[in-house]
């Protein structure tokens, strides 16, 4: 039985203008990038480092799975993998193709063989990951074999100490055939990307879709806060049963 619920009628047309489509996925050096996550009223995405906090209502959780159906890949950092051990598949009913999980793990910390994602993939419920590591990283051989066996891959790139590594990561994903990616977190990834977007020559984040839950998580929470101001344009709000959703595009 699905853990999700039918999406409210108004939500799909509300989201549509912020999605990748035939005409906005032709960039040769990067996929269409949607930044999407759930936060508290005090801009926290979990209550404590290293832990997962449920923020989204079932309605907005279902929305996240719908958003997953509309992208080729889902990207998260290794901090999220170690804290959440996520499934990173799409459980929206009648999903035709699964998104590719992409993990930024510069130091190759992830023991893939022990993960929930490996199980999900073995059960045919999702795709094996592309794991982005630094060129210098020593990759655990068991992890490596397991990823390869399931059809995933390790991608070695010059990440560590490289201030333009987002450009390199996105270019590499595009060359691997990924035309759209939803970036879910965690905080380091989101903050970094907002900073990089602001100072890059051309915008790299195409859309943002943020769920805001009516709760304060407090000072120990993991915070989304880029290093300087970022304005959002083309803003629209949707009000759900519990959460609000903001769609927009970050200005440089
Ligand atoms: N509410 C929500 O929607 C979401 C909440 N979360 C929460 O966020 C928290 C995790 O966030 P956080 O700890 O910040 O971890 P992240 O998932 O942002 O991962 C951070 C790590 O990823 C690597 N990394 C990320 N970007 C780069 C880059 N550009 N270049 C090189 N390395 C990079 C680094 O690894 P290294 O340390 O090896 O250098 C870094 O420390 C968890 O509590 C999770 O539950 C996560 C996603 C969504
Ligand atoms: N949309 C959203 N709402 C929340 O309340 C969350 N905690 C998250 N977390 C993100 O979703 C991933 C879990 O995905 P699976 O259900 O395991 O596929 C987690 O890793 C975060 O990226 N998101």
User: What pLDDT was estimated at residue 1?
Assistant: 45
Burial class (CB in 10 A: 0-12, 13-18, 19+), 229: exposed
Q: Whose CA is nearest to atom 11 of ligand 1?
A: 186
Taking the CA of 190 as reference, the closest ligand is 1
Distance 56 CA to ligand 1 centre (A): 19
Distance 203 CA to ligand 1 centre (A): 21
* 167: in domain: yes
The Cβ of residue 40 has, within 10 Å, a number of other Cβ atoms equal to 21
* 2: in domain: no
* 4: in domain: no
Residues of the domain holding 179: 11-250
Q: CB of 88 closer than 6 A to ligand 2?
A: yes
Per-run averaged pLDDT (10 residues), the chain, 252 residues: 82 98 96 98 98 97 97 98 98 92 98 97 98 97 98 97 93 98 98 93 94 98 96 97 97 84
Q: Please tell me the distance from the alpha carbon of residue 117 to that of residue 110, in angstroms, as a whole number.
A: 11
* pTM: predicted TM-score of the whole model, two decimal places: 0.98
Residue 185, token pair as written in the block: 């977190």
User: What pLDDT was estimated at residue 2?
Assistant: 62
* 75: in domain: yes
Taking the CA of 50 as reference, the closest ligand is 1
Q: Is residue 143 within 8 Å of 107, Cβ to Cβ?
A: no
Rg (CA), the chain: 17
Q: What is the ipTM of this complex?
A: 0.99
Q: Number of folded domains in the chain?
A: 1
Q: Is residue 110 within 8 Å of 23, Cβ to Cβ?
A: no
Residues with CB under 6 A from ligand 1: 37-38, 45-46, 49, 51-52, 55, 76-80, 83-84, 104, 106-107, 109, 159, 165-166, 184-189, 192, 222
Q: What is the CATH number of the domain that holds 125?
A: 3.40.430.10
Instruction: Kindly give the pairing relationship between strand 44-46 and strand 222-223.
Output: antiparallel
Distance 194 CA to ligand 1 centre (A): 14
* 47: in domain: yes
* 235: in domain: yes
* 6: in domain: no
Q: CB of 59 closer than 6 A to ligand 2?
A: no
Q: Please tell me the distance from the alpha carbon of residue 54 to that of residue 74, in angstroms, as a whole number.
A: 19
* 1: in domain: no
The set of residues, in sequence order, having a beta carbon less than 8 Å from that of 236 and lying 6+ positions away, is 14, 246, 247, 248
Query: From residue 6, how far is each of 9, 19, 208 by CA, in Å?
Result: 9, 20, 23
Q: Please tell me the distance from the alpha carbon of residue 76 to that of residue 117, in angstroms, as a whole number.
A: 13
User: What pLDDT was estimated at residue 163?
Assistant: 86
Best residue among 78, 169, 191 to mutate for probing ligand 1, ranked by most atoms within 8 Å of CB: 78
């Amino acid at each position: 039985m699905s853990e999700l619920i039918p999406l409210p009628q108004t939500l799909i047309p509300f989201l549509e203008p912020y999605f990748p489509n035939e005409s906005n996925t032709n960039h040769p050096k990067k996929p269409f990038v949607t930044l999407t996550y759930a936060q508290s009223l005090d801009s926290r995405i979990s209550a404590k480092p290293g832990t997962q906090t449920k923020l989204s209502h079932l309605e907005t959780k279902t929305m996240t799975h719908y958003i997953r159906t509309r992208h080729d890949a889902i990207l998260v950092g290794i901090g999220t993998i170690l804290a959440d051990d996520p499934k990173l598949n799409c459980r929206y009913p009648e999903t035709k193709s699964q998104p590719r999980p992409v993990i930024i793990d510069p130091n190759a910390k992830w023991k893939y063989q022990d993960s929930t994602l490996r199980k999900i993939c073995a059960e045919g419920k999702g795709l094996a990951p592309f794991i982005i590591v630094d060129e210098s990283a020593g990759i655990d051989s068991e992890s490596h074999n397991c990823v390869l066996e399931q059809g995933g891959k390790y991608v070695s790139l010059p990440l560590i100490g490289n201030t333009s590594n987002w450009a390199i990561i996105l270019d590499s994903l595009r060359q691997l055939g990924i035309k759209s990616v939803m970036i879910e977190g965690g905080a380091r990834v989101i903050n970094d990307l907002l900073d990089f977007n602001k100072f890059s020559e051309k915008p790299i984040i195409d859309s943002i879709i943020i769920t805001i839950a009516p709760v304060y998580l407090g000072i120990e929470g993991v915070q989304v806060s880029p290093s300087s101001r970022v304005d959002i344009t083309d803003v629209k709000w949707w009000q759900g049963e519990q959460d609000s959703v903001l769609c927009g595009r970050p200005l440089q």
